[in-house]
C-alpha cells in the first residue's frame, strides 16, 4: 500500500463515503489504484478532484502535509 493510498483511505473512512459515491461526486473513474496495489497510483488530477470531496487538501493527499 502506498502512502498516498493510505491517506486517501484514511480520509475516505472518515467521510463514510464509498468508492462509488466518490466516483459519482468527483467524476474520478474507478481504477485499480483504489485496491491499494503499490504498482498503481492516482494521478495529480484525481487527487485534486478527490481532496474537496474528502474534506482535505491536495497537499495532504499527495505529501501528507
What's the average model confidence in pLDDT over 8-14?
95
pLDDT, greater one: 1 or 20:
20
C-alpha span between 17 and 46 (Å, rounded): 16
Lookup: cell for 53: 470531496
Cα-to-chain-centroid distance, residue 17 = 11
Q: What is the DSSP string of 35-55?
A: GT-TT----HHHHHHHHHHTT
Whole-angstrom distance, CA of residue 13 vs CA of residue 7: 10
How do residues 24-52 score in pLDDT, each as one tens digit?
Answer: 999 998 887 787 777 778 899 999 999 99
The reported pLDDT for the residue numbered 34 is 80
- Which grid cell sits at 52? 474537496
Confidence at residue 9, expressed as pLDDT on a 0 to 100 scale: 94
Amino acid at each position: 500500500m502506498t502512502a498516498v493510498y493510505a491517506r486517501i483511505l484514511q480520509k475516505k473512512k472518515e467521510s463514510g463515503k464509498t468508492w462509488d459515491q466518490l466516483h459519482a461526486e468527483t467524476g474520478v473513474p474507478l481504477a485499480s489504484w483504489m485496491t491499494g496495489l503499490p504498482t498503481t497510483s492516482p494521478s495529480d488530477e484525481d487527487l485534486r478532484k478527490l481532496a474537496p470531496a474528502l474534506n482535505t487538501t491536495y497537499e495532504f493527499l499527495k505529501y501528507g502535509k
